[in-house]
Amino acid sequence: MRVGIEVGGTFTDLVAVDGSRVEVVKVPSTPASPDKGAFASLAAAGLDPAVVTDLVHGSTVATNAILERKGARVAFVTTRGFRDILFFQRHDRRNIYDLRYAKPLPPVRRKDCFEVTERLDSAGAVVTALDEAEVVSALVPALKAGGYEAVAICLLSAYTSPVHEARLRQLISAGLPGLRVACSHDIAREFREFERASTTVLSAYVQPVIDGYLDRFEATLAAAGFKGAFSVMQSNGGRMPAAAMRKNSIAALFSGPAAGVVGAIRQAERSGRKNLITFDMGGTSTDVCLVVDGVPSVSPETEVDGLPIRTPVLDIVSVGAGGGSLVWIDDGGMLRVGPRSAGAMPGPACYGRGGTEPTVTDAHLVRGTIRPEAFLGGTMHLDPDKAHKAFEPIARQLGLSVRDAAAAAIRLAVANIVRAIQLVSTERGHDPRGYALLPFGGAGPLLAAEIAEELGITEILVPPNPGVISALGLLSADYVKVSGVTRRTGLGDAAPHMLADEFGRFRKDAEAEFRQLGLNGELDFDLTADMRFVGQAFEIPVPVDTAALSRLGASDLAADFDAAHRRIYFHGGEPGRKVEIVSLRFGVRRRLETLPEFRERPAQLAGPGSIEVWTPAGAIKAKLVDAASIAAGQSVDGGALVEGYSSTLWLPPAWRAARDKAGNLIVSRISA
């Protein structure tokens, strides 16, 4: 029995696989205690943790700790003279016309920042030795007096050599046993001091929160007789055992969105589709990702609340356009959707839990694209009167009918998602018309056809049970570890030897770590070199053929860099200009076996044969179709509501949906 549990902002999703049997469940999330929602999903599925052999979990605990500033009390220790690096940050100004603009505040106060006497040069050589007496006599007592839960150490040039950071950690741990100590050379061993310091501090800030969460989770599992493997999803699209996440919890920031992309890719591959634009529309936001030839793009850096985090993440663009996103009018009288959300509590007005502000879900109920008695497979009844009442103030202010106001809110949500898709496609040189649109999340299929029409996309792939694809992605994810290191090297004869040496060292360490974690089996390795012209400020990723490392020459690396540069900028730069390698990015992957076929969960929906749906052309009668009733080879013409347990597909009149052998609905425009 393998189980994936993904905790979202509004719902907690579960997918369980036992041989050829697949179980699907959605329950309301419990934001105050996300683990309670996770165990509620197990109870709703009727699963005994004692029979579960593999449990994979994804949540927003780390992200929420940063956004809500509910992390640990952290001290920051750095080289003398660099105490204010977290506050100076960069010279850029995000909102250049905002007269009250202020840089984002780090999660530590200035009085919690400490300095030590030491210095390494850019090559890792010791310029000034670490003053150990000063550490013992001054720093350790100050840390003890501060009552800190964690310490973040980021010394100047520590990415070149860990010698001083490692020794400083030993001294602090000897004086303050049990205090969590995070070192930059373990978390982000790359240059750019502010980004490295920010990442290390944020990792230390959320580590006690993650540790406490995992402790509670594992204790509850143990009490229920669980003896299987427990893994946590990472932002890079892979998972790792929970024990590994205790060393670098920052890697789990965006586990939910990453799991969704992985699940979408695996399900689309069964239908032979590898070029995708995925969009995950849940309760709070919509997450968009471009997938080329079955591989999502990965970014080496992200940010939360304006603070940079140097950790590999799937390149996902998020907008505040989820089902629970609030619909409101700004001071200029313009209609807005998001980014604020009604969340799980109180939720949309139609949930009847005390919410009074209108949301996108309320708009669908008013428009007719959600039936109140069919929500969540008929297990949750919505209140259309409350949804109608919530939109009345908006309608009055805009001088529209309630139905027209709801339709306008949906069009605006579509526009927000279209813009996000353009950011990952058109603005990066990819024509969205050459990709299949893959919607998932509870609200994704409701808007898929309208989004496709705006972008000129002619094919939509809707997976079975689209509302729980993120939970499926947890089970589909391989074990993955990605790490980076800065190694500035000119592109000469020494460069290939440096690559071979560093790759060999990483491979040896990764094999040992995976064995220690009990992850036996064949491992796949990859290597990417971040390269640039000498004098440039930023670099571009260049994949390196690890199988050819022994015969790789500097000219081969130069040719690969030129090709990558032309792909991005459409030119190869100035002839003869020197090129350098800046950083290396290593990846190791242990692949999982293929999951059984994923089929639609029968919702056994009952009701009238049609429903009135409000469209720009006026009201139409849309037929009702149970998604599970569409067998392979059968098709449904629009307009129709294709209702499933976890989501509903709105099929406008000009579209047709056909079930293929993989269980996916292939949605395309009806030929004239």
For residues 79 and 175, membership in a common domain is answered with yes
Mean pLDDT confidence for 206-235: 92
Instruction: Give the C-alpha separation, 47 to 43, whole Å.
Output: 6
Residue 380 lies in a domain: no
For residues 161 and 242, membership in a common domain is answered with no
Q: Is residue 284 a contact partner of residue 8, using CB atoms and an 8 Å limit?
A: yes
Radius of gyration of the chain (CA): 26
Its domain, for residue 561, covers 482-582
Task: Calculate the alpha carbon distances from 204 to 129, 144, 248, 266, 542 in Å.
Answer: 25, 17, 9, 34, 31
Confidence of residue 261 (pLDDT cuts 50, 70, 90): very high
The pLDDT assigned to 473 comes to 93
For residues 87 and 186, membership in a common domain is answered with yes
For residues 497 and 578, membership in a common domain is answered with yes
Residue 494 lies in a domain: yes
Residue 14 lies in a domain: yes
For the chain, how far is it from start to end, CA to CA, in angstroms? 48
For residues 121 and 25, membership in a common domain is answered with no
For residues 537 and 578, membership in a common domain is answered with yes
Domain boundary among 252, 274, 306: 252
Confidence of residue 132 (pLDDT cuts 50, 70, 90): very high
Is it the case that residue 672 has pLDDT exceeding 70?
Answer: no
Confidence of residue 45 (pLDDT cuts 50, 70, 90): very high
Confidence of residue 327 (pLDDT cuts 50, 70, 90): very high
In this prediction, what percent of the chain has a pLDDT beyond 90? 68
**Across the chain, what does the average pLDDT equal?**
91
Confidence of residue 608 (pLDDT cuts 50, 70, 90): low
Confidence of residue 605 (pLDDT cuts 50, 70, 90): low
30 vs 223: which has the higher pLDDT: 223
Is it the case that residue 596 has pLDDT exceeding 80?
Answer: no
Indicate the number of domains in the chain.
3
Task: Calculate the alpha carbon distances from 390 to 357, 384, 399 in Å.
Answer: 6, 10, 15
For residues 76 and 205, membership in a common domain is answered with yes
For residues 92 and 190, membership in a common domain is answered with yes
In this prediction, what percent of the chain has a pLDDT beyond 70? 99
Q: Is residue 150 a contact partner of residue 204, using CB atoms and an 8 Å limit?
A: yes
Instruction: Give the C-alpha separation, 332 to 326, whole Å.
Output: 17
The pLDDT assigned to 305 comes to 81
Residue 616 lies in a domain: no
Confidence of residue 607 (pLDDT cuts 50, 70, 90): low
Q: Is residue 237 a contact partner of residue 264, using CB atoms and an 8 Å limit?
A: no
Q: Is residue 436 a contact partner of residue 273, using CB atoms and an 8 Å limit?
A: yes
Mean pLDDT confidence for 279-297: 89
For residues 184 and 157, membership in a common domain is answered with yes
For residues 21 and 95, membership in a common domain is answered with no
* DSSP strand pairing (295-296 vs 286-292): antiparallel
| CATH classification at residue 184 | 3.40.50
pLDDT in tens, 389-443: 999 999 999 999 999 999 999 999 999 999 999 988 888 878 999 999 999 998 9
pLDDT in tens, 298-317: 888 888 888 999 988 998 88
- Cα three-residue angle 47-48-49, rounded to 5 degrees: 110
What stretches of 224-370 show up as alpha helix (H) in DSSP?
242-245, 255-269, 360-367
Beta bridge partner(s), residue 189: 485
Q: Which residue has the tokens 């990846």?
A: 587
Mean pLDDT confidence for 359-375: 92
Residue 321 lies in a domain: no
For residues 17 and 102, membership in a common domain is answered with no
- Neighbouring residues of 329: CB distance < 8 A, sequence distance ≥ 6: 335, 336, 394, 397, 398
Instruction: Give the C-alpha separation, 476 to 594, whole Å.
Output: 8
Is it the case that residue 280 has pLDDT exceeding 70?
Answer: yes
Is it the case that residue 37 has pLDDT exceeding 70?
Answer: yes
Q: Which amino acid is at 119?
A: R
Residue 203 lies in a domain: yes
For residues 197 and 221, membership in a common domain is answered with no
Angle (deg, nearest 10), helices 494-516 and 554-569: 80
Is it the case that residue 366 has pLDDT exceeding 70?
Answer: yes
Domain boundary among 147, 175, 209: 209
| CATH classification at residue 232 | 3.30.420.40
Comparing CA positions, the residue from 151, 205, 197, 158 lying closest to residue 178 is: 151
Task: Calculate the alpha carbon distances from 341 to 52, 60, 269, 497 in Å.
Answer: 34, 15, 33, 53
pLDDT in tens, 540-580: 999 999 999 989 999 999 999 999 998 888 888 878 899 99
pLDDT in tens, 68-100: 888 999 999 999 999 999 999 988 887 788 888
520 vs 60: which has the higher pLDDT: 520
The total of other beta-carbon atoms located within 10 Å of residue 525's CB is 15
Comparing CA positions, the residue from 457, 546, 450, 455 lying closest to residue 501 is: 546
Q: Is the peptide bond before 652 cis (omega within 30 degrees of 0)?
A: no
The pLDDT assigned to 61 comes to 82
Q: Which amino acid is at 616?
A: P
Residue 315 lies in a domain: no
- Neighbouring residues of 219: CB distance < 8 A, sequence distance ≥ 6: none
Residue 421 lies in a domain: no
pLDDT in tens, 313-323: 998 888 888 88
Domain boundary among 209, 226, 243: 209
Q: Which amino acid is at 391?
A: F
Confidence of residue 368 (pLDDT cuts 50, 70, 90): very high
DSSP letter assigned to residue 359: B
The pLDDT assigned to 293 comes to 93
Confidence of residue 175 (pLDDT cuts 50, 70, 90): very high
